[in-house]
Every structure is written in C-alpha cells, then in structure tokens.
Amino acid sequence: MTGSHRVGSTGQGGGVFSLPDLVRGLRDGELTPSAHVEDVLGRLSGDSTNSVIALDAAGARRRAAELTEMSRRGEPAGPLHGVAVGIKDLIDVVGLPTRCGSRILADAPPATADAPIVARLRAAGAVIVGKLHTHEFAYGPLGDAAATGPARNPHDLTRITGGSSSGSAATLAAGHLPLTIGTDTGASVRTPAALCGVVGLKPRRAALPGDGVFPLAESFDTVGLLAPDVASAGLAWDALTGAVGVRDDVRGLRIGVVADDYWRPHDPVLAAAVTAAADALDRAGAEVVAVRTPGVEELAATYPTICGAEAYATHREWFESRREEYQPATRGRLDAQAGTLAHAYVAAQRARRRLGDDLLAHLAARVDLVLTATTRLRATPIGAEEVELPGRGTAAVRESMLALTSPFNLADRPAVSVPVAMPADGLPAGVQIAAVGPDVSPVLSAAAMVEGAV
C-alpha cells in the first residue's frame, strides 16, 4: 500500500486510510483490489485491539480477484470498487455466523443471506472481509462486555473503545480498514467514533436498510457508517444512498451551541473542543448562536424504559432459560427490566413523541444544527464503572458515554461525531453535530469545517 492512500498514524496500523484517495488509486490503477484486500487481511490478522471476530479471507480474495480483472477490462463494479469493508457482528453476512458478541449464539450457523446493507455494499463494489467486535447484543456503550473479551482502544490498549460498534471504530483507528458498518441505538456509532478518533455517522432510522440486523430496540436501531474522516464518510454515504453528503461550505447555516447544564461534559478537554469547533464554524461563515433545549432531561429519561423494555422482549425466553450465559453487565441490565410494566412503556413512548416534537419545534425556529460534545468523558480504563473528577466527586462511565447522543435517537435526527485535533495526552476527543431537520448533508458539511480547522 503506498503512503498516498493513508493519512496520519495511530501506532497500530501504520496510518489511517483515506477513502477518497483509496478509491482514486483503485480507479486509476495505482493499486489493484487484490493488493488492497491482501494488505487489509494482513493487518486484520495482526490486530491487537481484539476487534476481529471472523475473517472471510477466501471469499474476500476471490471477490478481489474478480474485481481486479474487471479493473483490467475498465469495468468498475460501482463507486466502492475494490474497497475492503468490515461489518459489525450484529449484521448478517452470508457464510459467516452472527454471534452478536454472546455465548448465547456461540453455535449460530452461518447466515444464508446478506443483510440488505451488506448487499448494497457489494453492489457498490465493496469487498466484505469479515465481522467485527460488538458489545454483547449491542446493549451497552462501552465495548467491554462480550464473549470474546473487551475491545481495546488502539490509542491506549488499556482503555475502552466505546460501544457497541466497538470493533468498527477500533479497526478504523488502527489503520486496518477504510470503512466499517455499525449500528446506533443510543450511542453505538458515535461514542466509539469519538473515543477512537474517527468519524461516526448516524442517519435517520431506515435511511440505510436495517433488515438482517439483530435488534436491540426497534424504536431506535439505526444502521450507520464509520470512516476515518468526513470526506470518507461522505463518499460512502453517497455511494450507498445516491445522495450528496457534503456541500462546499456552511454559509447560511444556523448552528446552535447548546447552553443547558445537561450538555456539559465532565472532561474540560471536551468542553474546549466544543468551543474550538464553534469558533471554526463561525470563521467558515455559519451563524453560531447559543441555544437551549427545553425538556431534554425529561426526553432523555424515556430512553432507558423504552430501550430496556424492547431489549427484554427480544431476550425474555433466552434470559429465562440461559441467563448465566449472558455477560454480567448484560445480565444486570436485563434483570433490571424484568418488571417493566406495559403502561410504563406506553407512557414513555407517548412522552418521547411529545417531548421530541416540542424540542424539534423549538430548535427549528432558531437553528439548523446543534453542536455538543459527543460524550461527557473520553476513553476510560477497561473495567472502570466510575471515574474520579478532580475536586468534583465521581462520574458514572456508562451514563457519560450515552447521555449526549441518545436524544438524537429519541428524536430520530441525523448526527455525526467528528474528531478534533488530538489532545496532548493522546486520547481522542469528539464533538457531535446533529440536524434539526432530516437531511444528512448539512451535518456532514459542518463536520468537514470542524475537522479541517480544529
């Protein structure tokens, strides 16, 4: 792999892929699909982040050889011709089992069909190389609870990746892959992206097809993209949807910097990152204003009831007969949901719709996008449930990785986590940009301005 197709360095994989450069190299013949896929398979085989669940080396090499021959004939298969892609092990890939990070599915047979998102990737010319680590059944934002053990952050192997799309973020940050697919129910694309220093895009539900994905909470489950940078995420979004993901500038966009205490991160590095991102957007010509989010705490409080009840409904039969096979963290969360009453679930759904509609109406009158930190903390040590805040007591890790992202699942609005310049301690920091309307394009455009300037 020539250096022109990689940018930066994480110390794990010799630099991070740039998808536009890679696509250009594959198109222009500087690199063949076979050479690219062989490079990726070698990197994944040597992964030190515990992110690789299963490789389809034979199938990937076979498809790469076909695409290499098509390249020779000048017949590209699609906009992702020859690009190696990894898939979260919650999503069906034909010929590979979907184990969801759990001993419950240790004997799962190979999938007999691709999930539609995987089929769409193949139709665009991508090469599926294998399955990547997930927090067990996607029920957690940390990435540290799975039958295969915790995923490890490539910037510091003693720290969490975030979850639940843990392997999807870690393999990107380690420089192993140019594009991965994850899912996001309350945090699960954006939080690992923030903690690992990559881009995580959550569109609206069903913007990318969700069939063939093991459910966590059907009210919120969303297929999303993880990529090394905004240009890569935009290219992938365009390739998979036919939309235009990134426009040239942000002039005319109204961007709200949230002022409520709810959005305040615990880590001062993250607060500084939000300020720096707001300054970058202002310099780029956006109208940056302070904005409040009335009712957000009440809205966020509906999430655990809805998500928990739906998760318990999926797992009830297994949980009653095989509860000891679940990871302790998952078992504890399911235990807590066993007594949820139907009226509590219905009340939470009604409150979500009312509060979400009210919040969006309030914001729409004032701004087009909102800017927040993605998480309240950066990557914490594996196994830590709480961390000390100097002079301010302690903070719960799980809540800190979920609180700032889940409102945009509850309101079903596109949101992206974008990394800012690496802090001196080497732990990535991410900011979140979310849309008040349904369109992904302004979210990615604003993210590009932040990425390029902060």
222-239 residue pLDDT tens: 999 999 999 999 999 999
Supply the pTM of this predicted model. 0.96
| CA 167 remoteness from chain centre | 10
Q: Inform me whether the pLDDT recorded for 310 exceeds 90.
A: yes
Q: Which of 453, 418, 421, 448 is nearest to 432 (CA)?
A: 418
| Residues classed as catalytic | 88, 164, 188
What b/e sequence results for 327-365 when a residue is b if at least 16 CB atoms lie within 10 Å of its CB, and e otherwise?
bebbbebbeebeebeeeebeebeebbeebbeebbebbee
Mean pLDDT value across the chain: 95
Return d(Cα 131, Cα 356) in angstroms, integer.
35
The rounded distance, in Å, linking the Cα atoms of 342 and 353 is 17
| pLDDT reported for residue 391 | 85
CA atoms of 182 and 132, how far apart (whole Å): 9
Kindly tell me if the per-residue pLDDT of 13 is higher than 60: no
Domains of the chain (ranges plus CATH)? Answer: 16-241 (3.90.1300.10), 254-301+340-453 (3.90.1300.10)
Contacts of 281 (CB under 8 A, 6+ apart): 250, 255, 288, 371, 446, 449, 450
Q: Which two structure tokens, joined as six digits, stand for 283?
A: 């310099």
* Pairing label, strands 84-88, 127-132: parallel
Categorize the per-residue pLDDT at 243 as very low, low, confident or very high, splitting at 50, 70 and 90. Answer: confident
Three-state secondary structure readout of 396-412: EHHHHCCCCCHHHHHCC
Looking at residues 195-216, what average pLDDT do you find?
Answer: 98
pLDDT band at 248 (very low <50, low <70, confident <90, very high): confident
180-184 and 393-396 beta bridge pairing = unpaired
Count CB-CB contacts under 10 A for residue 11: 12
Tell me whether residue 437 is exposed, middle or buried, using C-beta atoms within 10 angstroms of its C-beta: 0 to 12, 13 to 18, 19 or more.
Answer: middle
